[in-house]
Every structure is written in C-alpha cells, then in structure tokens.
A and B are shown apart, each in its own frame.
Chain A
Amino acid sequence: MLRVRGLSKRFGGFVSNADIDLDIEPGEIHAVIGPNGAGKTTLVNVIAGDLRADAGEILLDGHDVTTLPTHRRARAGMGRMFQITSVLPSFTALENVAIAAQARGRSFRFWHRANADRDLNQRAEMSLARVGLSHQASALAGEMGHGEHRQLEIAMALVAEPCLLLLDEPTSGMSGADSVALIDLLRTISETTAILLVEHDMDVVFSLADRITVLASGRRIACGTPPEVRADALVQQVYLGAGATAAPAMAEHA
C-alpha cells in the first residue's frame, strides 16, 4: 500500500530522517515508535506531503507521490489525523465531516446550500456514527472536548474512504476509557484501511500493531513484528538509554 525507500529529510544541518525504508501492506497497522526527537512526526509530514523529502521516494498503491503536493496525496487516498487537534472550529461536527466528504466530489457549486446536500449529510452521519459521535452532530466543533475532537478527526478521515490512514499520536491526551474505545475503532478500521500509527503509548502500540518500525536519531534501527522488536537488543538499548518513560512499558511487554 505504502512503500518508502531511502527517505531523507534535513533541516539545515540537522538530519531528521536519514535513509528510511518503510513498507505498509494493505490491512496492516504499522506503528512507528522511537524516543523523542527520533523523527517520527517529520516522517509522517514527509509522507503526507507537508514537508518535501530531500532524497528517496514514496509510492502510494504503486504510484510515485514523492513530489505531489499534500492535497493531491489526500485525493490519492491518504487520510490524516494530526498530532495536535485540527478541526474547523466554526462549523458543526456534521459540517466538518461533510466538508471532508465533499473533497472527493464537486466543490465548485455556488448557489445551493451545502447544508441541505442530503447525500453529503448522509455520508457524514454514517461516518460520525462509526466513531460514536452521532449525538454531537450539530455541536460546534470549536466547543467540543478533546476526546471528541480526536473522534471527529477520524470521522473526517474515514468519510473519504482512504486507503492509508496516517495517525500521529491518536490517543494523546485522551482518558483511559476513550482511548480503549479508540483502539477498538482503529482495529475495525484496519480491516479495510492500512494504518500508519505514530504513538508514544506502548500499550496501544503493542496491542494494535501488526508490525513496528523503530526510529532513533532519524534512522531506522529495527523493523518487525511486536515480539521481534521486543527481543531486539538495539531497541532495548535505545529505550533503556532514552530514560524511564518508555522503558518500563517496554519491559512490561517483554
């Protein structure tokens, strides 16, 4: 589904991503982990097109998208959820999702009220129902809670029926119950959509991921199934050396 080869990204003298390979198969949940500053978010931004790669290539479903702008990649099937909540605050939840759905259709319509577009609203309602947000359909996005924003973002991504979903720390700042619900949802979604998951929470990573890529200082140091990654000597060294935050979680699963 996604094939990344030799991807590099520098900011001045700082190498954020160096020669990274990454493959995501259809229906796979592929987690990218690593200590802070490992280049995870940069990698997502380069794949999504917000940042341009300095070297390497990105293939989506066999098509080279390395030089395509963000909006063209989105149309080619990349859905996105940002690390920091990104919704349209002055629109209702339903409108947020309907605008996302509209991106695949014709938006150069100037007279009819978009709010009254039954087809778009119906698709938006279905997507909201899927993430469990139907009861908030007519709430202004700007007035919703953090957990609901995360759900809303997923609904916005899903409504366009992406073939690849890029999720940057989807559970960050969520309560325990909310994040359990989200994990269940992601598992369901992965039946039809490949997912690239950047996540700090090792519980989430090890319970969801089919495969894990580990980054450290911008380089890929390991890639494999959760048991393989857990057993990797280099990974353990990086995580134990990186401080106490991730190490206990890592040990727990070992």
Chain B
Amino acid sequence: MKVRGRVALSGGGVAALVLLAGFALLPLAQQPFVTRIGTGIFILALATISLNLLVGYGGLVSFGHAAYFGAGAYAVAILSHYGTHRGWIAFAAAVGGSALLALILGAASLRVRGVFFIMITLAFAQMLYHLSTAVEKLGGDDGLRVVPNSFGPLFLGERITLYYVSLGLLCAGLVISDRLVASHFGRVLVGIRDNERRMRSLGYNPYHYRLLAFVIAGALAGLAGALEANLDAYASPELLHWSISGDLLVMLVLGGSGSIVGPLFGAVSFQLVQQVLSGFTSHWMLYFGPALVLIVFVSRRGVAGLFAGTRPHHVRGGR
C-alpha cells in the first residue's frame, strides 16, 4: 500500500479524488439546485461510510442505521428548540448522543447473530421512529424546526458554506475510515469478520471489537444526521424511518461494500439515478431495482469494483 513513504492509490482511489475535485468546483456553476443536491449526496455518503464500517469490514448487516442518523439530526433540533445554535455544542451533542445510542443498542443487538441481528437492529430503529412520532415535545409527526448552526463566522444556513463543510467532513470521513480499517483495531475487526473462531483462539473477544465498531459508526452517522438537520432546517421522523436504513444499505451495495471509496460512488450514483429516473416516472424504484441487481452481477464490489486496481478479494486495501 505504501510505496517509499508515499501512498499509492488504486484506480478507485484516483477516481474518487477526481470526483471530489469536481465537486469542489461545482458551485462555480452557480446553480442553487445543484449545490442542494450535492450537499445531500455528501451527507448520505458520510452516513454510508459509517455503515460500511459495520457491514463491509465488520460483517455486521445493520438494518437500523437510520437510528443514529436520525438521532444526530434530533440532537441538533432539540438544542435548537431550546435556543442553542452554537455549532460546536450542537455537533458534539449529535456525535456524542448517537455514539451513546449505538453503545446501548449495539450492546443488546450484538448478542445475536445472522438474521436475528438484522431484525433486532431494524426493530430498535423502528421503535425510535414511532417514539419520535408519539412524543409531542419532539413535534410528533411534524418534527422540529432547526435554526442552522454557526461555527464562529461559518453559518451553515448559507447554502455554499454548508456545501463545503459537508464536502470537507465527507473527505475527513474517507480518511478516517481508511486509517481505521488499516489500523491495529481495523485488522482485528476484519479478522473477526473473516474467521471469528480463529480470532477467539488467538485471544480476541469479538464482542468488544464489534461493539466499538458500532459506537464509531454511530458517532459518524450522528455527524451526518447533524448536517442533514442543517440542510433541511428540520428534523422529522422521516429521518428515523426504516426506508433510510434501506437506502443506506442500497447505496453501500451499489458503490461497493468493503471498499473505502465505495460509499462515495454509491451515494453519487444512487442520487443521480434517482434524480434522472424520477424525472420520468414516480415509479423510479421499479427500474432502479433491476439496475442494482445488474450492477451486483457485473461487479460483486459494486461501482468501486469496476475500477481496475481496486483489489476485489483484498477488501481492506480498496480505496
């Protein structure tokens, strides 16, 4: 991976850099609609990156990732409701709150495996969804209005500011997940995914590593949720709905699960396809479904797998 101290990028990594550079220049087109969509893509990509840590590297198919995304948004909204608009506080609350939630739900969910794990993560997330619609202090079905946060002179209510902050945090998310996966912790996590029994016999307790992965992923999803609340100027139960969890999984599979840049490609293609197809028909999912199946058949590693050099079997290294 490292060649004489310089990081050698795979084909997928180069494509991702080109894509990110393109996004950095996109606001020059001065199309408010485009920056709005771009920001949405960055946020979803960030949430998918966090899901990738669980699904792609931990082998844990969580079907309740909306819980942490939505919790991040609600943390910002609740603080905003009570008059706190300072970015540092709101974002710290979103990240910390989602991490804590992940610690609690993960501690319970990780007791079971396989299909039961998928169902229990889904069940917990749906419980939060219904809770959010039922509690009047959280605005019930209507949700809560959000006054965008400020980081000193940076006001996230400015479309362009939010665009670049989201893009920056997306890049940070990519770097963090790359380093995390290649770290001592990361390779233990991947080892447990590959061969749990072997890792136990080496002296590792899989539960600890998976739980920590859960907390890290929850924190990152909470960050994405905080951005989403600023983008929408709103936190609504929709953000906690299972369909968000489903979308994130679709983006991950589409882009390439177990590849660092996969979530970026997944979020971009998912949004592009949605924008284009939904222009023709409201039943766009009808066409998107088969397209997704086709992609997975052509490349088991999704869009990221299409780029030469993204080592398909060597999942840790794909950038």
Given contacts A90-B314, A113-B2, contact A107 B197 (CB under 8 A): no
Does A63 have its Cβ within 8 Å of any Cβ on chain B?
no
A117 / chain B contacts, CB cutoff of 8 Å = 184
Query: In whole Å, how far is B174's beta carbon from the nearest beta carbon of chain A?
Result: 15
A74 contacts B201, CB within 8 Å? yes
Which of A30-38, A97-105, A182-190, A235-243 participates in binding chain B? A97-105
Does B288 have its Cβ within 8 Å of any Cβ on chain A?
no
Q: Which of B182, B197, B209 contacts A115 (CB 8 A)?
A: B182
Query: In whole Å, how far is A94's beta carbon from the nearest beta carbon of chain B?
Result: 12
Does A140 have its Cβ within 8 Å of any Cβ on chain B?
yes
A107 contacts B184, CB within 8 Å? yes
B194 contacts A103, CB within 8 Å? no
B184 / chain A contacts, CB cutoff of 8 Å = 102, 106-110, 112, 114, 117
Interface size classification for chain B: 20 to 34
Bound: A82/B196 CA distance, A: 13
B197 contacts A50, CB within 8 Å? yes
B197 contacts A110, CB within 8 Å? no
A106 / chain B contacts, CB cutoff of 8 Å = 184
A111 / chain B contacts, CB cutoff of 8 Å = 179-180, 183
B180 / chain A contacts, CB cutoff of 8 Å = 110-111
Q: Is the interface of B mostly helix, strand, loop or mixed?
A: helix
A100 / chain B contacts, CB cutoff of 8 Å = 202
Bound: A200/B183 CA distance, A: 41
Which of B17-25, B185-193, B276-284 participates in binding chain A? B185-193
Given contacts A95-B187, A112-B184, contact A87 B198 (CB under 8 A): yes
Bound: A107/B194 CA distance, A: 17
Does B118 have its Cβ within 8 Å of any Cβ on chain A?
no
A113 contacts B212, CB within 8 Å? no
A102 / chain B contacts, CB cutoff of 8 Å = 184, 187-188
Bound: A99/B203 CA distance, A: 10
Q: Which residues in chain B, 108-165, are within 8 Å of chain A measured between CB atoms?
A: none
Does B315 have its Cβ within 8 Å of any Cβ on chain A?
yes
Does A229 have its Cβ within 8 Å of any Cβ on chain B?
no
A78 / chain B contacts, CB cutoff of 8 Å = 201
Does B307 have its Cβ within 8 Å of any Cβ on chain A?
no
Does A69 have its Cβ within 8 Å of any Cβ on chain B?
yes
Does A207 have its Cβ within 8 Å of any Cβ on chain B?
no
Q: Which of A87, A103, A104 contacts B195 (CB 8 A)?
A: A87
Which residues of B come within 8 Å of A, CB atoms?
1-2, 179-180, 182-188, 190-191, 194-195, 197-205, 209, 212, 313-316
In the complex, besides A74-B201, A107-B188, A111-B179, 20 extra interface pairs with C-beta distance below 8 angstroms are: A69-B200, A69-B205, A71-B200, A71-B202, A80-B201, A86-B198, A87-B195, A91-B187, A91-B191, A91-B194, A99-B191, A99-B199, A102-B184, A109-B183, A110-B183, A112-B184, A113-B2, A114-B182, A115-B2, A140-B313
Which residues of A come within 8 Å of B, CB atoms?
48, 50, 69-72, 74-75, 78, 80, 82, 86-91, 95, 99-100, 102-104, 106-117, 140, 142, 156, 160
